[in-house]
Amino acid sequence: MNYLASVGSYAIMIREVFKKPTKWRIMKSLIFKEIDELIFSSLGIIIFISFFIGAVVAIQTALNLTNPLIPRNLIGFATRQSVILEFAPTFVSIIMAGKVGSYITSSIGTMRVTEQIDALEVMGVNSLNYLVFPKIIAMLFYPFAIAISMYVGIFGGWMAGVFGGFLTSEDFITGLQTDFVPFHIGYAFVKTLIFAFVIATIPSFHGFYMRGGALEVGKASTTAFVWTSVVIIILNYILTQLLLG
């Protein structure tokens, strides 16, 4: 019953976010600030993880190719498919649920605890629009981060494959180009955009409606991460079935 009430509250929150907009002059600066906080400040960790995961995918594929009849260029093919279809959009989104999600919950939760949200409400500001809308807009740039993740992941696979002596650069590139389906990129970006909305809104919900003190802010951040991850995993299944099934 509590879960149903939370889903209802979440839906009401989303409706409120798009009502009574804040002045564009103020909103514009908030959006730029959030793009910096949510997207640019995450690029370092995204690039680091993408590179090494791409490298590990290539090595694992190479080590499991024991049959001499299977061409080595399959390593490039497997790296591309893994990175584009699942690793970049889904795995990175779960990492972002931790990094960006906990930042969103704790920053909004701290504003709740220190009565800053009450101060906004008393002034007549639509606090949900002021706090959550810029985050949603900033997260529209998340596909750019995922595009970088795809590129760096495949580059990591190439580095590990070629410099690890598993295949030649030509083989890797041949594998990358084999049976390429452009729609897979579209599928990945559709997923990414939906996950971006989830990453912006579920942690905001947990921060905005939290009650208590500093300890509860920490608990809300953890809960937000768990629920954001669960929703991403479930949506990943549904979207894969709908778009590729």
Partner 1 sequence: MIEVRDIHKSFGDAHILKGVTTTFEKGKTNLIIGQSGSGKTVFLKCLLGLFIPEEGGIVYDGKLYADLSNDEKRDLRQEMGMVFQGSALFDSMTVEGNVMFPLEMFTKQSKSEMKDRVDAVLKRVNLIDAHHKFPSEISGGMQKRVAIARAIVMNPKYLFCDEPNSGLDPKTAILIDDLIKEITEEYNITTVINTHDMNSVMQIGEKIIFLKDGLLEWEGTKNEIFKTDNEAVTNFVYSSDLFKKVRQMYIQEQN
CA distance 133 to 22: 9
Output 124 or 245, the one with its CB closest to partner 1: 124
Residue with tokens 């997207």: 39
* Nearest residue to 3 (alpha-carbon basis) of 235, 223, 225: 223
CA distance 89 to 142: 10
Least distance from C-beta 33 to partner 1, angstroms? 8
Q: Which stretch binds partner 1 (CB under 8 A): 7-15, 41-49, 115-123, 203-211?
A: 115-123
Least distance from C-beta 79 to partner 1, angstroms? 41
CA distance 91 to 102: 16
Output 60 or 110, the one with its CB closest to partner 1: 110
CA distance 238 to 33: 33
Output 13 or 231, the one with its CB closest to partner 1: 13
CA distance 46 to 92: 7
* Nearest residue to 49 (alpha-carbon basis) of 103, 101, 106, 90: 90
Q: Which stretch binds partner 1 (CB under 8 A): 18-26, 151-159, 219-227, 236-244?
A: 18-26
Give the total of residues touching partner 1 (CB under 8 A): 15
Q: Decide if residue 36 touches partner 1 (CB under 8 A).
A: no
Q: Which stretch binds partner 1 (CB under 8 A): 17-25, 44-52, 88-96, 141-149?
A: 17-25
Q: Which stretch binds partner 1 (CB under 8 A): 20-28, 39-47, 177-185, 206-214?
A: 20-28
Q: Decide if residue 1 touches partner 1 (CB under 8 A).
A: no
Choosing from 60, 116, 223, 240, the residue that interacts with partner 1 (CB under 8 A) is 116
H helix runs in the chain, sequence order: 2-17, 24-34, 43-64, 74-81, 92-113, 116-123, 127-138, 142-163, 169-177, 182-208, 214-244
Residues that bind partner 1 (CB under 8 A): 22-23, 25-26, 110, 114-116, 118-119, 121-125
